[in-house]
Amino acid sequence: MPQTHRINTGESIQLAALPTDGKHFHDDRKTAVTEFKSYRQELIELQRKLYAEGKQKLLIVFQAMDAGGKDGAIRNVFQGVNPQGVRITSFKVPSKEELDHDFLWRIHHAVPGKGLIGVFNRSHYEDVLVVRVHDIVPESVWRPRYDQINQFENLLHDTGTRILKFFLHISKAEQKERFQSRLDEPGKNWKFSMEDLGKRKYWGDYMAAYEEMVQRCTTSYAPWHVIPGNQKWYRNLVITRIIVETLREMNPQYPPAEDNIKNVIIPD
């Protein structure tokens, strides 16, 4: 499963041909939830070691259409981890100060330090998505950003940051259902915005932008994973498993105890 949804460098893809339905890969929801909880418990322990070791860094990027499940995935996957060791950054519309700098300036500020897991809810990829679809900047500005992003992520990799990138792939019909649930359930009304409907009109343009993003910015050091997102239980399982597999490879260890600690007597 960890490699099932990973895109290979140079691979030509069509998002329309990639499944949004996780039931193609796992048909037993009850078993999947049990597996997910087991992996999440392992994630909690591995994250403790990563934080205690204080040497390695992991950056996890989430991108999706509106109602694609970024918030839910982050909330479920990282439930129970030590909050001191995880930094979650949600990138909104850039501020005036941020716009006065290059588009990666605000991103670099949020990159995790040693011992930390950094989670991006949206990311630097907004600058080849929203700005492209809505003509916020000309193509002569956003098109060079693919190479600039690859160079930036290569810098992070070369300086010790492991990178995982997840595109949560939902169908247009699933998005409609999720929007409707936000209207029907009072506790979810706050999640709905009329802007969501406006963006939905550009579904095809966004799919084209995401497709090129995945193709142009999949590298050996920062691969994209296109995760079938229609079933939340499958989404949670596969994301957690990929993170755990990565942390296993990183193999963080608790640092050794100080010398003679066994002879220490705590005074009354």
Q: pLDDT tens digits for 9-61?
A: 998 999 999 999 999 899 899 999 999 999 999 999 999 999 999 999 999 99
Q: How far apart (Å, rounded) are the C-alpha atoms in residues 57 and 50?
A: 8
Residue 58: φ, ψ to 5°: -135, 125
Q: Where are the domains of the chain?
A: 15-251
Q: How far apart (Å, rounded) are the C-alpha atoms in residues 174 and 122?
A: 20
| Claim: this prediction has a pTM higher than 0.85 | yes
User: Which of 132, 8, 159 lies closest to 151, judged by CA?
Assistant: 159
Residues 6+ apart with CB under 8 A from 265: none
251 band by pLDDT with thresholds 50, 70 and 90: very high
Given a cut of 60, whether residue 255 has pLDDT beyond it is: yes
CATH of domain 15-251: 3.40.50.300
Residue 261's Cβ-count burial label (10 Å; 0-12, 13-18, 19+) is exposed
62 band by pLDDT with thresholds 50, 70 and 90: very high
Residue 233's alpha-carbon distances to 31, 59, 178, 182, 268, in angstroms, are 10, 23, 15, 19, 51
Tell me the pLDDT of the chain averaged across its residues: 95
Q: How far apart (Å, rounded) are the C-alpha atoms in residues 206 and 165?
A: 18
Mean pLDDT of 244-256: 97
Q: pLDDT above 90 covers what percent of the chain?
A: 88
